Structure 1
Amino acid sequence: MATLFVIKSCDTCRKARKALDERGLPYQVHDLREDGLSAALLEHILERVPMVEVLNRRSTTWRNLPEEDKQDVDANKARTLIMANPTLLKRPLLDTGDEIRVGYRGGDYDDLKG
């Protein structure tokens, strides 16, 4: 079964859930705020998706970080920041078991089979 990583208050995450529901695709929801983010889960994501694609530099969380935290971000620093602030992950993240899809735009899940 697929896992959709979300933040429940995120409009794009709601659209992704609606798209999965409309297609009748089974999935479980993992709320990054409520359910958290383990180091093992972050590594699972990063094995399939490059850090540059999952670090959300447009988020409110990023904008609220101290300037020194946003400077010279390499993979290790990004891991530390994401572990401390799971909302720095771009979302939604859909883990189908075969791949992880980052973000959602209309039609992104049309090729998925239930």
Structure 2
Amino acid sequence: MKLNPNFVNMIIYGIPNCNTVKKARTWLEENGFNAEFHDFKKKGITAEKLNEWCKVFGWEQVLNKKGTTWRSLGPDVQQSVKDQPTAVAVMLQHNSAIKRPVIEVEGKALLISFNEDQYAAVLK
């Protein structure tokens, strides 16, 4: 399968010390993709961007309930998340609770998390 690494604008959103982000960045580099990295710990993330991702993937997918950040939140915070607006509010306060990485191409969110087969299929 021939991949198309010549996208004009590809951004990978995440945090640099996340193992899943590291795997995705390595895969992209090894397959010739030149993606800009957006560290949302340093550069932040907007409610608008989170809402865009939620429309594409669903808020339940964007909010990482399997990670240590989610598990470290108090039960009152966890129980307050019932829909997209409440999930976005929590992710804005605790951006490590965002599932990562998110890959955008030409301003459109295409991928979330990392799965080599999925990346190859979507980015061909």
TM-score greater than 0.5 by the shorter chain: yes
Matched residue, 1:78: 87
**What 5-or-longer segments of structure 1 have no aligned partner?**
none
Q: 1:18 aligns with which of 11, 14, 26?
A: 26
* C-alpha contact 2:62 2:99 (8 A) present in aligned 1: yes
Residues 1:65 and 2:69 are matched in the alignment: no
Residues 1:37 and 2:74 are matched in the alignment: no
Determine the C-alpha separation between the residues in 2 that align with 1:8 and 1:94: 14
Residues 36 and 46 from structure 1, CA distance in 2 versus in 1: closer, same or farther, beyond 3 angstroms? same
Deviations 1:8-56 (A, max 9, x none): 0011111100111111112111112111111222122223221011110
Matched residue, 1:94: 103
Identity %: 27
Determine the C-alpha separation between the residues in 1 that align with 2:78 and 2:10: 32
Matched residue, 1:8: 16
Determine the C-alpha separation between the residues in 1 that align with 2:52 and 2:86: 17
Matched residue, 1:104: 114
Q: TM-score, normalised by structure 2?
A: 0.83
Q: TM-score, normalised by structure 1?
A: 0.89
**What 5-or-longer segments of structure 2 have no aligned partner?**
1-8
- Measured after TM superposition, the shift of residue 57 of structure 1 is 0.4
- Aligned CA-pair RMSD: 1.5
What amino acid maps onto 2:91 in structure 1? I
Give the 3-state SS of the residue equivalent to 1:109 in structure 2.
helix
What amino acid maps onto 1:89 in structure 2? I
What amino acid maps onto 1:107 in structure 2? D
* C-alpha contact 1:45 1:100 (8 A) present in aligned 2: no
